[in-house]
Amino acid sequence: MMDTGFKCRAFLVCLVLVTGLSCLSVKLISLQVWDRRLSDTSNVPRFKFRERIPAKCGNILDRNQKVIVQNRPEANLIADRNHLTFTDILLPAVAHRYASQTADWSTSDEKEKNAKLAEVTRRLKKSLSPDELIEEHLGYAAEVIGAKIGMPASALIERVNSGKTRVVVSKGLREDVAREIEKELQARRIQGFTFERYQERFYPMPTFAPHIVGFRNHEGVAQAGLEKSMDHILSGRDGERILQQDENGLVNLTEPAQVIPPRMGKHVRTTLDMGIQAIVEEELGMAFEAYQAQKASIIVVDPHTGDILAIASRPHFNLQDRKNYHNAGSSFAVSAQYESGSVMKIVAMAAALNEGGVTRETVVDCGWGGIKRHGFLLKDPYPYGDLTFDEVLVKSSNTGVFQFAETVGRVGFYRYLRDFGFGRETGFEIPGEASGSFRDTTNMREFASATYGYSVSVTPLQLAMAYSVLANGGHLLQPRLVDSIIANNGARLDQTPVRRVRRVIKEETARQMCLALEQVVLKGTGRRAQVPGYRIAGKTGTAEKWDNVNGFYDDERKFLTFAGIVPVQDPEFVCVVTIDEPTGFPEDFQVGGATIAAPVFAQVAKRIVHYLNLPQTEEVLDSDLDGESLTSTSGE
């Protein structure tokens, strides 16, 4: 039998072994599970800092590849006050500050510089208190950063010490400046500063077609216009920069461990011509101010393709600062719905001509001021007797237009109204397009009103596409704003086709209508729309606005329109000018499409034909340049 002493010694040895092995097991578990960062040398997430590299959105271009919208990489410089008070990581920068001031620093090699830094570091550890070290480091950082961003060191220190943990030192730094600062901070061992990078959207022509171009907010989210409707094309995919981070959370700014590059968005080429857009914006701006109008718009269309060459609305806003965005509202050219008056008479007249029952020589009796139909009296603003087809348009006779519409019939007229594109959206690429409206009823009074532009609400864009039907030989086209999608290497990825919605009238009918509308410009209400040297076709429109409160048409408040085709024999563009409620005229001034909208059209058309270098179609006579005063004596 073993003695009691031996048993006790054996028990103690076993206890020591078990206790030791247990402690070792606990330590191993701690290292492997609870504190892996001390035993695992791989790049675990705790030691990584992920920085988003924002994708560059694609550009928006005009038809001639001129940039309308582009990206500009920028960065915000951020100070992290947590790191700026961590004395263990601040000492190398302060040491660098003192060492770099020695006389032979610039001529020393890397080994000599490291030796000097080590010597200065040992000395500073003994001589500087933690508060002094923090102050020295921030002062050094302020000198280096301030010199790059043009900010006094004292102002930068005051901003950093504002009491916040995360302080924005400087906003909107160019990327090249941010890179320079990063390199300087790294070279001088300065800590506590990082960059927040982003892509700032830049608009070289910020007041050109702002409703159409649209914009992105400061977070890069598309808000309106093409920016929003084409966001799926323009937006790319963000990348990522994975930076090394030490146990104190300090990020190494200039040595990325891994980079996942961003994917840039594709470019959108539009049909807009910024040269024509500049003309339209300038002329519309002057008219809008001169006539103190409520709203206004000008649209220029290529009638053969439906391409929107220019589109402007007032009021508008600046895309860069967007201060007047909410007051400007939506695009008047696309979203306005109004009764446009006599500019709509082309529907009834083209329908009558297209059905073959009448010709341009057909005569109707306009009743010397009024005719009675279906139990009501239809009036003209001036007394007319017998008028030919052309003369009805030249004089803008309501009674004459209605009689030609009667040859088609109510049902036929409303069919043509729909075929010309009224009462439904055109398919424009920008959100917010209005459809306009009319009531296809058996009410003959409404039918009569619709033939001369009342009881039908339209948009300026619909008018432009309807007049393009006459200019292109009889087809209604869908308006085109996006021409194509362009890859980063310049390759064309997708081309938007020309879309013919339907044939509305015969080619010969379209040609005859253009010739008839040319007479309106030569002899009638559109004389102020003439452009010397060019044959112009067009029609004026003056529509009184409906007063919802009192239930009548207010002759003091009007919509004024002129729609023109240039040149008649081979149309290059259609232009529609609309001005809502101009004011500030003398009492005896006759406010109408003839006196306001037509002259604006003339100025726009004159500049566009020169810009496009269109050959003159007519000899320019001295009498064409006299600028005679034209007072309309016809209805609109």
Lowest mean pLDDT among 21-35, 60-74, 156-170, 577-591: 21-35
pLDDT score, position 315: 95
pLDDT higher at 211 or 236: 211
Question: How confident is the model at residue 271, as a pLDDT?
Answer: 98
Identify which of 427, 250, 436 has the alpha carbon closest to the alpha carbon of residue 337.
436
Lookup: tokens for 459: 């948009």
Q: Where is mean pLDDT largest: 157-166, 180-189, 395-404?
A: 395-404
Specify which of 52-66, 221-235, 240-254, 294-308 reaches the highest per-range mean pLDDT. 294-308
Q: Is the pLDDT of residue 256 over 70?
A: no
> Is residue 215 scored above 60 in pLDDT?
yes
Q: How confident is residue 553, by pLDDT bands cut at 50, 70 and 90?
A: confident
Q: Which residues contact 484 (CB under 8 A, 6 or more apart)?
A: 269, 492, 493, 494, 495, 496
Segment 608-616 shows an average pLDDT of 96
d(Cα 36, Cα 591) in Å, to the nearest integer? 84
68-82, 200-214, 517-531, range with the lowest pLDDT: 68-82
pLDDT computed for residue 511 by the predictor: 97
Helix, strand, coil distribution of the chain in percent, nearest 5: 40, 25, 35
Weakest mean pLDDT among 15-19, 107-111, 279-283, 539-543: 15-19
Query: At residue 165, what is the residue type?
Result: T
Average confidence (pLDDT) over 362-374: 92
pLDDT value at residue 6: 66
Kindly state the percentage of the chain with pLDDT values over 70. 89
| Confidence band for 629, pLDDT divided at 50, 70 and 90 | very low
pLDDT bracket for residue 247 (50, 70, 90): low
pLDDT digits (tens, 9 = 90+) for 109-146: 888 888 888 888 888 888 889 899 989 999 999 999 99
Cα–Cα distance between 579 and 563 in angstroms, integer? 12
pLDDT for residue 248 is more than 80: no
Please determine, for residue 254, whether its predicted confidence score (pLDDT) is greater than 60: no
* pLDDT for position 262: 82
Q: Average pLDDT for residues 554-562, to the nearest whole number?
A: 92
- The residue that leads in pLDDT, 45 or 89, is 89
Q: Are 413 and 347 in contact (CB under 8 A)?
A: yes
In the predicted structure, residue 249 carries a pLDDT above the cut 60: no
Average pLDDT over residues 406-430: 95
Whether residue 149 has pLDDT greater than 70? yes
Are 553 and 283 contacting, i.e. CB atoms less than 8 angstroms apart?
no
Buried b (16+ CB within 10 A) or exposed e, 140-163: bbbbbbbebeeeebeebbebbeee
User: Tell me: domain 274-485+496-625, CATH 3.40.710.10, correct?
Assistant: yes
Distance CA 421, CA 426 (A): 7
Q: What is the mean pLDDT of residues 483-506?
A: 94
Q: Which residue has the higher pLDDT, 629 or 395?
A: 395
Model confidence band, residue 30 (pLDDT cutoffs 50, 70, 90): low
When the pLDDT of each residue in the chain is averaged and rounded to a whole number, the result is: 88
Query: Residue 365 above 70 pLDDT?
Result: yes
CB 62 within 8 A of CB 272: yes
**pLDDT for res 104:** 84
Burial of 495 (0-12, 13-18, 19+ CB in 10 A): exposed
pLDDT beyond 70 at 32: no
In this model, does residue 82 exceed pLDDT 50? yes
Round to whole Å and give the CA distance between 96 and 146: 18
Q: Tell me the C-alpha to C-alpha distance, in Å, between residue 229 and each of 216, 223, 452, 503, 539.
A: 12, 9, 36, 29, 34
Helix (H) or strand (E) segment spanning residue 134: helix 130-149
> Class assignment of domain 48-269?
alpha beta
What does the domain layout of the chain look like in residue ranges? 48-269, 274-485+496-625
